[in-house]
């Protein structure tokens, strides 16, 4: 009896299926009919099948890769037993890239369905085909572990430990799911085989690895064995318990357990990872003051090699509690011990920014030369800029800008330059080093910095419009150009992605040292979309977008948009945008800024007298046109309405129990709400800020920042999410205005920021 017959445990063959083996039928259907039913998800015919092994030879009559997608669809519908047969065929007889993918998927699903004996039978053959695939070894090892075939598992792990390749790295590192799982197996095996070093194995898992499911599994294993708990001791058990709670995101419980462990003398077991774990638990669940005090109390008991991370974590706890002077003291001590650690530099500067402007500028000048990854510090400079604008500290903004010119990203340089240009025009600020020069020349030079970059579309668009420069949002369509089709698609990239017949044959024969290339990834992704497996196709394309040509990403985006998957379509197209083999033309721009639900939008816009481009831009940024999406905060639908807000507005509109996932209803309520905000606030910018951040907050900001114009008010908003929200809507509205209303960028910007015409 074959492996898959044992899985399915069939007893007899149905007469009509016997004929299928020699008639070219697959699962009782001609290949083209099977494909149609898979695409349309019509699987009722499978209920008549008792043995999917019959007709196995006919799988070869399917197009390359078809069996893999059929199996994927069957798994989605809950027909795993049938899918397993199809996968076994594809994993042993298919072409690449489907063959390897089928092998990995088969092993993964056998493990998930706990078919461990069958997994032991099938995995070795697959490993012989793909000896470089860690996932196959992981499934095989898991089966050995679950069946308690300890000696064989120990031998396998020893063999893998000796390897200097991808498999050895995956199993032998101190990060990653497979490495943590392997550490779990080693620990439990050591205990089951009465290895005298079993406690050391347990410690390795808990001391060296980030919190993961493996820690919870081992902790539950330990607490189910009272004699094992006695051998480990109460302090060690408390450490294990803390790690378990941290893996389960129960931060208060984690801190309580970690604190108990330290009280019981477990500090000698600490490692860099455990100190980070304890600090994180304290920051999120223990109260910063008590947590910092507890960590300070164990400094003498911690080995000197862990002093930098201990000082860092104490500093971060004080920072979380607003005790910035104490935070800086400990963070500086950590930096002296670990001067190459940019994370510590970030925390020093973050605490300095909160401690006061003078200290921040001083520390920034001292630490700026240590910034090697400017993008890592963008969020810090983003928040510092908002605070300095709110306080009107223009000279300090200039000091930060000068540092950014040498050590910052293009995006942050653009932001600070734009803010300073506004400070020159609105507040008469002229930097000390620029005294004696014409202020308007200084302003225009600063605007030019913001205009002449591509890292931030918002600042480029607004600054170019302020300088009255021509704004090219996208290039001409392919049909409007002579002989530039290759340039748009990226002649070099796309032609290289399509192999010759001999190259394709070489790909299909590759079995051992397989690495996917662009051609194979694009075939794999295209098949997902062909067979209606949209989510799988999207995830594969997103994961391997770097291997796909821009034209393939565009095609994938179009497939998703055609099925109403707007969020996914926009994300994939965003991966293509900005690449050398991609030129944004008008048609691509329409993919990025689509107009679904056009009639419904037009009705709401007319009824509430809304700006057409603005309302489309708002909904695009709120939901990317996903009608049923719900945010982590609980906002629902196209215009992302909180249920409480929607209930209040619905009552005023006379709507009874409206469905927020219904596009028309959601747009009606969202349009009504936006119209009310526009009527209450002095500008569209204020209304947008209120839509995102809340009306009460915007009123408070208005009272505390009375001397700031529209643009600077926006830059001073203390919430990054709200600042970025307004920026994104402005950019989207500019594109919608140009694409569908033939409006200029200046006109759209002025509709959001009435002050704009005075800035020009």
Q: Could you report how far apart the first and last alpha carbons of the chain are, in Å?
A: 82
Helix axes of 612-623 and 663-680: crossing angle, nearest 10 degrees: 120
CB 557 within 8 A of CB 563: no
Tell which residue, 692, 718, 756, has the closest CA to residue 391: 718
Radius of gyration of the chain (CA): 31
Q: How many CA atoms lie within 13 A of 298 on its CB side?
A: 27
In three-state secondary structure terms, 372 is: coil
DSSP secondary structure, 387-449, as one string: HHHHHT-HHHHHHHHHHHHHHS-HHHHHHHHHHHHHHHHHH----GGGTTS-HHHHHHHHHHH
Asked if the peptide bond before residue 341 counts as cis, ω within 30 degrees of 0, the response is no
CB 689 within 8 A of CB 698: yes
Q: For residue 599, how many other CB atoms are within 10 A of its CB? A: 8
721 is catalytic: no
CB 59 within 8 A of CB 26: yes
CB 337 within 8 A of CB 307: yes
In terms of Cβ atoms closer than 10 Å to its own Cβ (0-12, 13-18, 19+), residue 11 is exposed
Task: Out of 33, 622, 702, 747, pick the active-site residue.
Answer: 622
Structure tokens at 451: 């205009």
Give residues with Cβ within 8 angstroms of 590, minimum separation 6: 739
Helix axes of 357-367 and 394-407: crossing angle, nearest 10 degrees: 10
How large is the greatest C-alpha to C-alpha distance in the chain, in angstroms?
98
Tell which residue, 126, 70, 120, 118, has the closest CA to residue 93: 126
Tell which residue, 349, 377, 376, 354, has the closest CA to residue 365: 349
CB 212 within 8 A of CB 246: no
DSSP secondary structure, 373-398, as one string: -GGGGHHHHHHHHHHHHHHT-HHHHH
Q: How does DSSP classify residue 674?
A: H
Active site positions, annotated: 622
């Amino acid at each position: 009896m074959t492996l898959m017959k044992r899985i399915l445990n069939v007893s007899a063959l149905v007469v009509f299926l016997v004929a299928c083996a020699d008639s070219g039928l697959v699962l009782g259907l001609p290949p083209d009919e099977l494909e149609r039913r898979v695409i349309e998800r019509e699987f009722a015919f499978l209920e008549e099948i008792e043995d999917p092994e019959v007709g196995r030879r006919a799988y070869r009559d399917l197009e390359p890769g078809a069996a893999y997608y059929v199996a994927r669809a069957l798994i989605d519908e809950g027909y795993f037993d049938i899918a397993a047969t199809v996968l076994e065929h594809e994993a042993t007889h298919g072409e690449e890239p489907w063959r390897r993918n089928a092998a990995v998927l088969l092993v993964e699903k056998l493990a998930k369905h706990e078919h461990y004996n069958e997994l032991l039978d099938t995995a070795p053959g697959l490993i012989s085909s793909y000896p470089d695939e860690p996932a196959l070894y992981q499934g095989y090892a898991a089966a050995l572990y679950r069946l308690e075939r300890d000696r064989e598992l120990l031998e396998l792990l020893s063999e893998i430990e000796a390897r200097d390749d991808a498999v050895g790295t995956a199993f032998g590192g101190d990060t990653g799911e497979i490495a943590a799982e392997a550490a779990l197996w080693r620990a439990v095996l050591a205990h089951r085989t009465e290895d005298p070093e079993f406690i050391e194995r347990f410690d390795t898992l808990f001391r060296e690895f980030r919190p993961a499911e493996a820690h919870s599994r081992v902790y539950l294993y330990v607490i189910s064995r009272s004699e094992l708990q006695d051998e480990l001791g109460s302090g060690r058990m408390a450490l294990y318990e803390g790690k378990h709670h941290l893996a389960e995101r129960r931060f208060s419980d984690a801190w309580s357990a970690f604190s108990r462990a330290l009280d019981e003398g477990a500090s000698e077991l600490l490692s860099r990872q455990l100190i980070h774990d304890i600090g994180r638990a304290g920051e999120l669940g223990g109260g910063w003051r008590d947590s910092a005090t507890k960590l300070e109390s164990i400094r003498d008991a911690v080995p000197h090699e862990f002093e930098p991370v201990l000082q860092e974590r104490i500093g971060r706890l004080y920072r979380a509690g607003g005790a910035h002077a104490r935070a800086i003291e400990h963070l500086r001590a950590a930096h002296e011990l670990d001067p190459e650690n940019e994370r510590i530099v970030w925390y020093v500067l973050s605490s300095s920014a909160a401690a006061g402007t003078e200290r921040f500028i001083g520390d920034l000048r001292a630490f700026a030369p240590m910034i090697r990854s400017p993008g890592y510090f963008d969020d810090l400079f983003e928040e510092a800029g908002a605070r300095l604008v709110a306080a009107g500290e223009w000279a300090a903004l200039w000091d930060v800008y000068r540092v950014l010119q040498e050590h910052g990203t293009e995006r942050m340089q653009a932001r600070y330059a734009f803010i300073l240009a506004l400070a020159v025009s609105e507040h008469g600020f002229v930097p000390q080093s620029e005294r004696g020069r014409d202020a308007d020349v200084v302003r225009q030079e600063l605007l030019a910095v913001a205009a002449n970059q591509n890292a931030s579309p918002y600042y480029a668009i607004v600054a170019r419009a302020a300088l009255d420069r021509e704004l090219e949002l996208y290039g001409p369509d392919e049909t409007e150009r002579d002989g530039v089709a290759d340039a748009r698609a990226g002649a070099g990239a796309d032609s290289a992605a399509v192999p010759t017949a001999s190259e394709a044959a070489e790909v299909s024969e590759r079995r051992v040292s397989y690495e996917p290339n662009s051609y194979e990834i694009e075939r794999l992704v295209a098949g997902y979309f062909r067979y209606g497996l949209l989510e799988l196709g999207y995830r594969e394309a997103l994961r391997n977008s770097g291997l796909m040509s821009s034209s393939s990403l565009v095609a994938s985006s179009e497939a998703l948009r055609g099925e109403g998957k707007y969020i996914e379509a926009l994300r994939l197209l965003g991966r293509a945008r900005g690449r050398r083999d991609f030129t944004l033309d008008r048609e691509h721009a329409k993919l990025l800024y689509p107009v679904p639900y056009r009639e419904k939008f037009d009705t709401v816009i007319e009824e509430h007298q809304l700006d057409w481009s603005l309302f489309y831009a708002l909904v695009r940024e709120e939901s990317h046109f996903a009608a049923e999406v719900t945010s982590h905060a609980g906002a629902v639908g196209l215009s992302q309405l909180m249920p409480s807000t929607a209930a209040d507005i619905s009552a005023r509109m006379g709507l009874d129990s409206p469905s927020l996932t219904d596009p028309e209803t959601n747009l009606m309520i969202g349009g009504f709400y936006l119209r009310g905000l526009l009527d209450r606030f002095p500008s569209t910018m204020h209304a947008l800020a209120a839509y995102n951040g809340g009306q009460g907050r915007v009123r408070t900001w208005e009272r505390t920042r009375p001397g700031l114009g529209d643009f600077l008010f926006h830059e001073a908003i203390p919430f990054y999410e709200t600042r970025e929200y307004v920026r994104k809507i402005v950019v989207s509205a500019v594109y919608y205005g140009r694409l569908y209303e033939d409006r200029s960028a200046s006109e759209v910007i002025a509709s959001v920021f009435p002050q704009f015409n005075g800035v020009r």
